[in-house]
Chains A and B, each alone.
Chain A
Amino acid sequence: MTRSVRLAMGQALIEQRSFWRSAEYALFTFAFPLMILLLIGAANVGSYLPGTHIKNTTVFVPGILAFGVIVAAYVNLGSKVAVLRHDGVLKRIKTTPLPSGAYLGGLLVSTVATAILLTVGTGLIGWLAFGAMPRPGGLLALAAGLILGIVCFASLGLAISSVITSAESAGPVTYASFLPIAIISGVFDPTFGGLPAWLSHVVALFPVKSLAEVLQNAYAAQPFPAWDLANLGLWAAAGATFAVWRFRWHS
């Protein structure tokens, strides 16, 4: 058991090292959300949500936090595993005595580390640039949202990796499968509205909006997001089930 943990940590370390060495991964994972944070955030400074005293940025910053978690856990892990499978690295791992759990555990630990770093970076910039901070009473929702969000989107990432058929399509498939939902969930635009009622009901079923709402609750008091937390849990369970069912060590 301790050996597996040690092996998993070693694996996580080397994953982190290679992540930071790879310009494409590090740049897209970190630069993309932070750039959106600064550009769209700047456009929202001084605006308030219609009919309230809540600043746009107070809702926008946690939206980008959610976006960062999704990029780090879902896009990054999903495309990474798809590429590892396509390249035959997973197959090679099976020729060694390394326990499968230790290997996948290492990938997950590395994913969590990336997600936490990105969250801290986004939170700090959101605070320094726009003065957005979680409210003291929202720290529980913040922690619950981050933990459940990372678990949920990592399991969805593992799940989607199994339906990606080539290394080249890994990035496009993972981004294209959540960006449209993120946009109509209002992640990039605090005042986003005007959707047909049926569509906003459908969007609310997806975990993207749920994660954004939990984190927004941590910044601006809103009703406790019980439904959103439950929804994240459901998606996490569904993603994990599909990932386990479809996981393959070779392409």
Chain B
Amino acid sequence: MTDSVAVQVCDLQMSYGATQVLYGVDFEVRYGEVFCLLGPNGAGKTTTLEILEGFRRPTAGTVRVLGLDPATQAARLRERAGMVLQECGFPRQARVAELIDLWRTYYPNPRPLGDLLEVVELTEARNTQVRKLSVGQRRRLDFALALAGDPDLVFLDEPTTGFDPEARRRCWAAIENLRRLGKTILLTTHYLDEAERLADRIAILREGRIELAGTTQEVAVLAGLATRISFTTPTALRCGQIPLPDGLDLTVRGSEAVCHSGNPGMTLRLLLDWALEYRLGDLDGLAVTAPSLEDTYLQLTGAGADPHLSQASGDRT
């Protein structure tokens, strides 16, 4: 086991009775990065997180969190790792600052109260009763409580599920603030845009297996997705006065001509040669687009398989 990684997961397997939910999951989270476990509902994200948090004992495999074994060293782990569970209530009568202050007494080296309020942008609401907070404010209070002990690592389980766009935006801002403090963050989500926006590296979890892991771009390349090359359809081509280029899978969709290629360099050369031959100039509107995380995710999980997927894509702005 190395100490250079905050979280190491090796061949993690988990069964509930006869139902296996994790089939040998491997990944690691480096210090200081935001790592995202992305996947549809039921993929095993929360189970994985609960094992890392020490709430569940895995059926097989090795797990190290901050050099500790969560199954046997949970008490020490909780002093150094903050945990935001998917849904978790607050004491009904508590006020914001009072609750954070209480949480600070639970830890050996707490962060200052004012600092915590600022990080999660709740300074204005410090004397508000918790039950009067909005959904988004509650979630940010979750963050503040998880951060009270000044942890090295923060777990966030689906931090913005069911939020309206404004609440999500402010939540993301709070997560960005956590990142700026140098915290290592392991978050799960089924929202693509959330992963793309926040994560340094991503692992796509599907049906208990890691399909791919890496940066957004690496993941797309690893998925073997084609680069998309497009340009404005030249008038001559549109009117059928010149032939399509040989050996390229070029489709004309009205004003746009598109082809997909696993070897964009070669394709571009062929395209430009063809343009030169028919005096089309530099091909107006030429664009080379790397495959997106969305393309990757859709291909891996099957479009429409997850009802949240369309919603997540629709949210993209």
A residues bordering B, Cβ < 8 Å? 7, 10-11, 14, 17-19, 21-22, 83-84, 86-89, 91-92, 94-99
Q: Chain A residue with minimal CB distance to B83?
A: A95
With CB as the reference atom, state the residue of chain B lying closest to A14.
Answer: B102
Q: How far is the CA of A86 from the CA of B83 in the complex (A)?
A: 19
Residues of chain B contacted by A89 (CB below 8 angstroms) = 88-91
**Chain B binding surface, main DSSP class:** loop
A97 touches B149 (CB 8 A): yes
Are A18 and B106 closer than 8 Å at their CB atoms? no
Q: Complex formed: what's the CA distance from A91 to B102 in Å?
A: 16
A95's closest neighbor in chain B, by CB?
B83
CA distance A146 to B76 in the complex (A): 39
Q: Which 8 A-B pairs have the closest CB atoms?
A: A87-B89, A18-B93, A95-B83, A88-B89, A88-B88, A97-B78, A98-B106, A92-B88
**Distance from B81 Cβ to chain A, minimum over Cβ atoms (Å):** 9
CA distance A17 to B99 in the complex (A): 12
Indicate whether B173 reaches chain A with its CB closer than 8 angstroms. Answer: no
| Contact A21–B93 (Cβ < 8 Å) | yes
The answer to whether the Cβ of B94 comes within 8 Å of any Cβ in the partner chain is yes
Set of chain A residues within 8 Å of B78, measured between Cβ atoms: 95-97
Out of A18, A21, A88, which one reaches B87, CB within 8 Å?
A88
Q: Given A10-B102, A95-B83, are A87 and B75 neighbors across the interface (CB < 8 Å)?
A: no
CB pair A91 B105 closer than 8 Å: no
**Closest-CB distance, B68 to chain A (whole angstroms):** 12
Nearest-neighbor residue (CB-CB) of A22 within chain B: B93
CB A70 to nearest CB in B, in angstroms, measures 23
B186 contacts the other chain (Cβ, under 8 Å)? no
Asked if B107 contacts A96 (CB within 8 A), the reply is yes
Which B residues between 72 and 122 are near A, CB-CB below 8 angstroms? 75-76, 78-79, 82-83, 85, 87-94, 98, 102-103, 105-107
Distance to closest chain A CB from B211 (angstroms): 29
Complex contact B105–A92 (CB within 8 A): no
Residue ID in chain B nearest A94 by CB atoms: B55
Binding site for A on B (CB under 8 A): 53, 55, 75-76, 78-79, 82-83, 85, 87-94, 98, 102-103, 105-107, 145-146, 149
Q: Which residue of B lies closest to A85 (CB)?
A: B89
The distance in angstroms between the C-alpha atoms of A7 and B110, with both chains bound, is: 14
Complex CA–CA separation, A99 to B76 (angstroms): 11
- In the assembled complex, the CB of B35 is this many whole angstroms from the nearest CB of chain A, namely 19
Complex Cα distance, B75 from A99, in Å, reads 8
Point out the residues of chain B lying under 8 angstroms from A11, CB to CB: 102
Instruction: Report whether A18 and B149 are in contact in the complex, using a CB–CB cutoff of 8 Å.
Output: no
Residues of chain B within 8 A (CB-CB) of A92 are 85, 88-90, 145
A98 to B83, CA, bound (A): 14
For B146, the chain A residues whose CB sits under 8 A away are: 95
Collect the chain B residues with CB atoms within 8 Å of residue A86's CB. Answer: 89
On whether A97 and B75 interact (CB within 8 A), knowing A14-B102, A89-B89, the answer reads: yes
For residue A96, which residues in chain B have a CB less than 8 angstroms away from its CB?
Answer: 78, 103, 106-107, 149
- Residues in B with CB closer than 8 Å to A10 are 102, 105
Give B184 Cβ to nearest chain A Cβ, in Å. Answer: 17
Question: A3's closest neighbor in chain B, by CB?
Answer: B108
Known pairs A7-B105, A96-B107, A97-B107; A18 contacts B88 (CB<8 A): no
Q: How far is the CA of A94 from the CA of B78 in the complex (A)?
A: 9
Q: Are B87 and A97 in contact (CB under 8 A)?
A: no
Are the CB atoms of A83 and B106 closer together than 8 Å? no
- In whole angstroms, how far apart are the Cα atoms of A92 and B87 in the complex? 9
Choose among A7, A22, A91, A97 the residue that contacts B92 (Cβ–Cβ < 8 A): A22
Whether B53 pairs with A95 at a CB distance below 8 angstroms is yes
User: Known: A10-B105, A96-B103. Contact between A91 and B93, CB under 8 A?
Assistant: no
Tell me the smallest distance from the CB of A30 to a CB of chain B, in Å: 16
**B129 nearest CB neighbor, chain A only:** A21
Which residues of B sit under 8 angstroms from A83, Cβ to Cβ? 92
A95 to B88, CA, bound (A): 10
Taking a contact as CB atoms under 8 Å apart, the answer to whether B90 and A87 are in contact is yes
Cα–Cα, bound, A19→B85 (Å): 26
The complex places the Cα of A22 from the Cα of B93 at a distance, in Å, of: 7
The residue on B at minimum CB distance from A23 is: B93
Given that A18-B94, A87-B92, A91-B85 are contacting pairs, would A97 and B79 also be in contact in the complex, using a CB cutoff of 8 Å? yes
Q: Cβ of B91: which chain A residues have Cβ within 8 Å of it?
A: 14, 18, 84, 87, 89
- Extra pairs beyond A22-B93, A96-B106, A97-B107 (6, CB < 8 Å): A22-B92, A83-B92, A84-B91, A92-B145, A95-B88, A97-B79
Assembly CA distance A156 to B150 (angstroms): 38
- Shortest Cβ gap from A93 to chain B (Å): 9
Question: In whole angstroms, how far apart are the Cα atoms of A204 and B170 in the complex?
Answer: 60
* Closest A residue, CB atoms, query B145: A92
Complex Cα distance A18/B129, Å? 11
> Closest residue to B90 on the A side, CB-wise?
A89
A14–B93 alpha-carbon span in the complex (Å): 10
Residues of A within 8 A of B76 (CB): 97
